[in-house]
Amino acid sequence: MKKAFVFPGQGSQFPGMAKDLYDTLGAAKDRFEQANDILGFRITDIMFDGTEEELKQTKVTQPAIFLHSVILAESMGDAFQPDMVAGHSLGEFSALVSAGAMKFEDGLKLVSARAQAMQRACEINPSTMAAILGLEDDVVESTCAEIDGVVVAANYNCPGQLVISGSNEAVQKACEVFTEKGARRALLLPVGGAFHSPLMEPAREELEGAISATAFTAPVCPIYQNVTASAVTSPEEIQANLVKQLTAPVRWTQTMQQMIADGAGEAVEVGPGKVLQGLFKKIDRKFPVSGVALETS
């Protein structure tokens, strides 16, 4: 039976996150302090003692979730033996570092650069995202195609839950149309911009150079990347898919289905929160999923 390790994305942060890791494990504390040095500010102060509002800033949120996830995976020691890995959006970077496809320092620098590039892209194009619940994927896709302006399917989270992304006006209009078409909910999300849409093109261009300059190696197991939702092991392919990730949809529904089809018998979520555990349960209520309990002995 194969074991999948999965890593959460933006939205899983919470005040006090990873403080137990820092306080109980010397190696984890060293890693966090190394991260503070690399980033040039004490991100740990915001993670442990900051408000929800402070944690919500993209430049803080993304490195914070990455650090929590990667350092938690490291703390597992020999218990971290993945047969396959995947990460939701930002979580893909956590998955890649944890599976040995790039170094911790390089991953953190890329995540920080990604967060800042996305922040700048949001300032260029005022934009948003919305969760559409209770409609088939193809209905959401075809409706987006009919709306004037930029609005696309961005996150395939689980069957019946798809996030759209685009300009403020186009997303607003799409929500009205989805409600008319019988969506259970069409809910604007509290995000800073249109992630995983063509409006992230300035960020993609900015990040492409940084990704191209980063050294990638073959991971210890296949990674199921957001862009393809299929197993990838080639460092060149991983790198190319990572560049595309910012403007392409997160195919998480397809990723979970493919992992199960390829023999995954259980999944372990590594990082803050339980979002991905909930999404696996939507695919198959009986599928065994869990989080990571911190070993303090």
Cβ 64 vs Cβ 22: under 8 Å:
no
Residue 138, Ramachandran bin (φ over 0: left; ψ between -120 and 50: alpha; else beta): alpha
- The secondary structure of 245-276, three-state, reads CCCCCECHHHHHHHHHHCCEEEEEECCCCCHH
Please say if 196 is a catalytic residue.
yes
Coil vs helix vs strand at 205: helix
H or E element, residue 242: helix 235-244
165 is catalytic: no
Q: Do residues 195 and 57 lie in contact, with contact meaning Cβ atoms separated by under 8 Å?
A: no
Could you say which of 69, 112, 165, 196 is catalytic? 196
The single residue listed with the structure tokens 């959006």 is 89
Catalytic residue among 75, 89, 165, 197: 89
Q: Report the amino acid identity of residue 36.
A: N
Catalytic residues: 89, 196
